[in-house]
Amino acid sequence: MSVDARAAPVLTMSPERVTMRERIVAGVPWAGWIVLAILLAIPALGGGRYLVYLGTLIALQAALATSLNIVMGYAGQFAMSHSAFYGIGAYASAILVTSVGLPFWGAVPIAMACAGVLAAVIGYPALRYTGGVHLALITFAFGELARLVAANWDMLTGGPMGMRVMYTPGSLFGLELGSAKGLYALAAGMLLVCLLVTEVIQRSRFGRGLVAVREDETLAAFLGVNVVGYKVAAYVISSMLAAMVGCAYAPIMNFISPDLLSAHETISLIGVLILGGIGTIAGPIIGTLLFFGIPEMLRVARLYRLVVLGVVIVLVALFMPKGIAGVLRDRVERWKRGLR
């Protein structure tokens, strides 16, 4: 018997069988996008200088978290080098613009390409093995090495005290990006790009393959998934996106320091991601809003914020590995099916 025949009764189920709950739940992602649009619009329309700056920072961090989500959330790999690629993107684009004289929008693809090549070179040998240990170690070492290079090669990077960045990106599609609101638009745009990439991956065969790899590599290999290729691809895409966001960091903050590449920053990022929920689209944004937005408005001292984040990471890792968004999604699923 062919598969089609057995699937036929399901496929021809009449539409009335779709419950009210299922309809509502199907609408949740749309509602999520609308909420996001509203949030993004706030600084653009009503913001004073400070709100725009805050929005820009949050958008950058959310973009970074979203890009990390691709390799950590969907592929399940521990990429400790994410902040390093962020910094590499920032430094590479800054050096290309200030020393070589490229326009901003010419420097971005080159910086991304550099990041991609580096990620492939580092990732391929490490990802040949199962388990995340090798990748975690190598990327950790790579991140610290990158930081050391940035801190010591001061002919190129300005050394441990960092590099001052005075340029602004040129206009794109007629939008002037030099002003504070323009830079906000840049950050928000990058966030949208990362989200788009995540959405596309999630719906694609590649994405499903990634999830299979995350759950059980050996089984995925048996099912014909090119495990190593997919893992490397996810890592490279993530790193390239991080570099892209890094290119925006430079003109926004006007200043790049080697600390940007440190493993500490990646660890914070992982914490944010886990808090919000890895493997979901909303997760990184929720996590970023919670971690950066609220304390920034309340001006809680950074040290205590990090302690709390650390405790949260431990608790979430032990009891709630799917994070807030994951838990919410599970709840919603169960409600949809009529369970309580």
Partner 1 sequence: MDLRPNLSAARVAAVALGGLMLATSCLAQTIKLGMVNSLTGPHASFDLPASEGVLMAVDEINKRGGVTVKGKKYTLTVDSEDAQSKPEFAVSGAQRLLRDDDIKVIFGIMTRGPGMAAATAIGKSDVLYIGAFTLLDTLLGKPGGELMIRTLNNDATVAKSFVPTSVTELGVKKVGIMLPNEDVSRSIVAVYKPLLEANGVQVPIVEYFQPDTQDFAPVLRKFQNQGLDGMLTGTNDALVEAILRQATELGGLPRKFMYRGGSGAPAIKYSKAVDGFTWQILTRDIDNTSDPKVKAWVERYKAFTKKDVSPNSYWALTFYDSVFMVAKAMEEVGSITDVKAIGAKVKSTKYEGVRTMRFDKDGHAQSDIDLGILKNGKVSSVRAAAS
Partner 2 sequence: MDLIQTLLDGLMVGGLYATVAIGVTLVFGIMGILNFAHGQMVMLGAYTAFFVVSAGLGFWPALLIGMVAMGALGLVLERVVFRHTLGDHMQGLTASLGVIMVVENLAAAAFTHDPRTFEPPLPGSFQIVGLTLSSQRMLVLVLVVVLVVACHLFLQKTRIGKAIRAMGQNRTGAALVGIQTTQVTAVVFVLGSAMAGAAGVLYGSLFAITPYMAAAPLMKGFILTVLGGLGSVPGAVLAGFLLGVAESLGSRYLSASFRDGYGFMLLIIALLYFRRGLFGHRGKVRV
Positions touching partner 1 (CB under 8 A) are 48-50, 53-54, 57, 148, 151-152, 154, 158-162, 164, 166, 253-255, 257, 259, 296, 301-303
Residues, the chain, total? 340
Q: Which residue, among 193, 241, 238, has the nearest Cα to 80 in the 3D structure?
A: 238
User: Quick one: 166 or 307, whose CB is closer to partner 2?
Assistant: 307
Residue of the chain from 59, 64, 78, 240 that contacts partner 2 (CB under 8 A)? 78
Specify the 3-state DSSP secondary structure of 53.
Answer: helix
- The structure tokens 């090669």 sit at 153
Q: Which residue lies nearer to partner 2 by CB, 180 or 221?
A: 221
**279 touching partner 2, by CB under 8 A:** no
Question: Residue 253: which of 170, 163, 147, 143 has the closest Cα?
Answer: 163
Closest CA to 56 of 299, 296, 264: 296
Q: What are phi and psi of 197, to 5 degrees?
A: -60, -45
Nearer to partner 2, 134 or 208 (CB): 134
Rounded to a whole number of angstroms, the minimum distance from the CB of residue 257 to partner 1 is 6
- CA–CA dist 158, 154 (Å, integer): 4
CB of 292 to partner 1, least distance (A): 10
Provide the mask over 10-49, with x wherever binding to partner 2 is found by CB under 8 A and - wherever it is not: ----------------------------------------
Candidates 7-15, 58-66, 128-136, 252-260 — which segment interacts with partner 2 by CB under 8 A?
Answer: 128-136
Evaluate whether 75 touches 234 at the Cβ level (below 8 Å). yes
120 is a contact residue toward partner 2 (CB under 8 A): no
Report the run of H or E that residue 255 belongs to, with start and end.
Answer: strand 255-256
**Site of tokens 């290999």:** 221
For tokens 């990327």, what's the residue?
A: 139
Q: What is the CA radius of gyration of the chain?
A: 21
Closest CA to 313 of 262, 265, 278, 272: 272
| Whether the Cβ atoms of residue 140 and residue 206 lie closer than 8 Å to each other | no
Report the partner that residue 313 touches, choosing among partner 2, partner 1, none (CB closer than 5 to 8 A by kind). Answer: partner 2
Q: From the list partner 2, partner 1, none, which binds 57 (C-beta under 5 to 8 Å, kind-based)?
A: partner 1
Residue reference for tokens 């996106």 = 241
Distance between CA atoms of 20 and 33, rounded to whole angstroms? 21
**Interface mask (CB under 8 A) for partner 2, residues 142-181, using x and -?**
x-xx--xx--x-----------------------------
| Bridge pairing between strands 163-164 and 255-256 | antiparallel
From 55, 73, 76, 207, residue interacting with partner 2 (rule: CB under 8 A)? 76
Of 140-148, 163-171, 234-242, 253-261, the segment contacting partner 2 by CB under 8 A is: 140-148
Q: Counting contacts by CB under 8 A, is residue 318 touching partner 2?
A: yes
Q: Residue 7 binds which one of partner 2, partner 1, none, with CB within 5 to 8 A depending on kind? A: none
Q: Quick one: what does residue 265 bind among partner 2, partner 1, none, with the CB cut-off 5 to 8 Å set by partner type?
A: none
Using CA atoms, how far apart are residues 322 and 277, in angstroms rounded to an integer? 5
List of residues contacting partner 2 (CB under 8 A): 76, 78, 122, 125-126, 128-134, 136-138, 140-142, 144-145, 148-149, 152, 217-218, 221, 227-228, 263-264, 267-268, 270-271, 274, 303-304, 306-307, 309-318, 321
